[in-house]
Amino acid sequence: MPAVSFTNLLIISAIAVLAPLAVGFVPRLRIPAVVLEIVAGIVVGPSVLGWVHVDLPVQILALFGLAFLLFLAGLEIDLDRLRGRGLAVASVGYLVTLALGLAIGVGFHAIGWVREPLLLAIALSATSLGLIVPVLKDGGQVDSVVGQTAIAAATVADFAAIVLLSLFFSTAGGGTGAKLVLLVAFVGVVVATWLAVTTAGRSMRLAGVLLRLQDTTAEIRVRFAVVLLVAFTFLAERFGLESILGAFLAGAVVSLVDRDQATHPRFRVKLEAIGYGFLVPVFFVGSGVRLDLTGLLDHPSALARVPLFLLALLVARGVPALLGVRAQGWRATVAIGLLQATSLPFIVTATQIGVTLGKISSVTAAALVCAGLLSVLIFPVVALGLLRGTPQSHLGMVTGGTP
C-alpha cells in the first residue's frame, strides 16, 4: 500500500462533525453548517493556522464531494414545480439576471477587478437550490406561492448556470462552437439513458429484484445511482464538458425516474447520507483550506470588493424578482429576491474553475467566496423575517406547480 497520510483528512472529518454540532447546540446562531465548514477550513488552512493542506486523499474526496453535491442538486428537480407560467417567469428572470451580471462584469473589468466578465456573470447568476429548500422548509414556506416561485427560479438558474459554465469555461478546453455540438450530443445520450432506464423500470421482474435487494447489503438502488453519477461525469469529461454538468444531470435523471417512492421511501435518504454525511463536507472544508485569505487581507482594495460583490449578487439575482411584484406584493417580492441572491456552492465551484483556467485571480476568487458566505448568512434570515410579516393572501398555498 502506498504511503499516504490521512492527517489532513482526519482534521477535515472532525470539522465536518463539529460544524453541525455547533449549529445544533446554538440554534439562535442561524448559520448554515456549510458556512462554518468553509470558515473552519480557512482557519485550519495555510491562510491562518497552517494545520491542513489539500493533499491527494483530500483532493480526490473533495472532487467526489463536488460531484455528489451537484448530483443532489439535480435530485431536487421537480417538474411539477416547473410547469406553466412558473417556468416562463423563471426563464425570463434568469435572462435578466444574466444580462445584469454581464453588465456588472463589464464594469468590474473596466476598472481591472475581473479578467473575464462572462465568468463573473455566470457566477452571479446561479442560486443555491440545496440551501433555499431547507430554509423554506424550516420557515414553513416550501408549499406557498412564494416558496414555489423561489424554488422554480433556483432550479432554472442552477441548471442554466451549470450549462453555461460547461460551455464557456470547461477545464477540458476546446472552442465554444465545438462544445455546443458536443453538449447537444451529450444531452442526447442523457435523454436516451433516461428513456432506457424508464423502459427497464416497467419490468415487473426487475422491479421485484430491486425490491428484494434494496435494503440488503447490496443496496442496489444506491449502487445504480452511483453508477449513473460516475458514468455521466465520465461522459461529460469525454465530451469535453465540465464534469459538474454530468453530475447534475445524473441527479435530474434519478429524480425523473424515481417519481413513485412508495416502495423505497429511504432511497433518497441513503443518497443524502453518502453526500451530506461525508463527501460534501470534505469539499466545503477543502474549499476553505484553499481560499486565499492572506492575499485578500494583504490587499485592502481586494478586501473592498467583498461588499461590492455582495451588492452585485443582490442586484443580479434580486432585481428579476420584481417581475412578480404585482402578484406577490412588495414584502414577498423582496423575500424572493433575497432567497434567489443566496448563493455559495456554485460560486465556490465557478471560482475554482476560474482560478484553474487563469480567468480569475485567487484574491478575487476569495472575495467572491466571502461575498457568497455573507449572502448565506444574511439573506435567508431577512427573507424569512419578511415572510412572517407578509399577509397570508400574498403567500397562499399550492398543491401543484407554480401558478
**Interval 165-189: pLDDT, tens:** 888 887 666 666 777 888 889 889 9
Check residue 114 and give its pLDDT.
84
In a domain, 400, yes or no: no
In a domain, 53, yes or no: no
In a domain, 370, yes or no: yes
Three-state secondary structure readout of the chain: CCCCCCHHHHHHHHHHHHHHHHHHHCHHHCCCHHHHHHHHHHHHCCCCCCCCCCCHHHHHHHHHHHHHHHHHHHHCCCHHHHCCHHHHHHHHHHHHHHHHHHHHHHHHHHCCCCCCHHHHHHHHHCCCHHHHHHHHHHCCCCCEHHHHHHHHHHHHHHHHHHHHHHHHCCCCCCCHHHHHHHHHHHHHHHHHHHHHHHHHHCCHHHHHHHHHHCCCCCCHHHHHHHHHHHHHHHHHHHCCCCHHHHHHHHHHHHHHHCCCCCCCCCHHHHHHHHHHHHHHHHHHHHHHHHCCHHHHHHCHHHHCHHHHHHHHHHHHHHHHHHHHHHHHCHHHHHHHHHHHCCCCHHHHHHHHHHHHHCCCCHHHHHHHHHHHHHHHHHHHHHHHHHHHCCCHHHHCECCCCCC
In a domain, 46, yes or no: no
Report residue 117: phi and psi, to 5°: -60, -35
CATH number assigned to the domain comprising residue 372: 1.20.1530.20
Nearest of 380, 280, 402, 281 to residue 335 by alpha carbon: 380
pTM score, whole prediction = 0.81
Work out the mean pLDDT of the chain and round it to a whole number: 83
Tell whether the model's pLDDT for residue 325 goes beyond 60: no
Q: Report which of residues 400 and 35 the model is more confident about.
A: 35
The tally of domains found in the chain comes to: 1
**Interval 341-369: pLDDT, tens:** 888 888 988 898 888 888 888 888 888 98
Check residue 31 and give its pLDDT.
75
Tell whether the model's pLDDT for residue 402 goes beyond 60: no
In a domain, 154, yes or no: yes
**Interval 264-312: pLDDT, tens:** 778 888 998 999 899 989 998 998 898 878 877 887 887 888 999 999 9
In a domain, 381, yes or no: yes
In a domain, 8, yes or no: no
In a domain, 52, yes or no: no
Structural domain boundaries, residue 145? 60-395
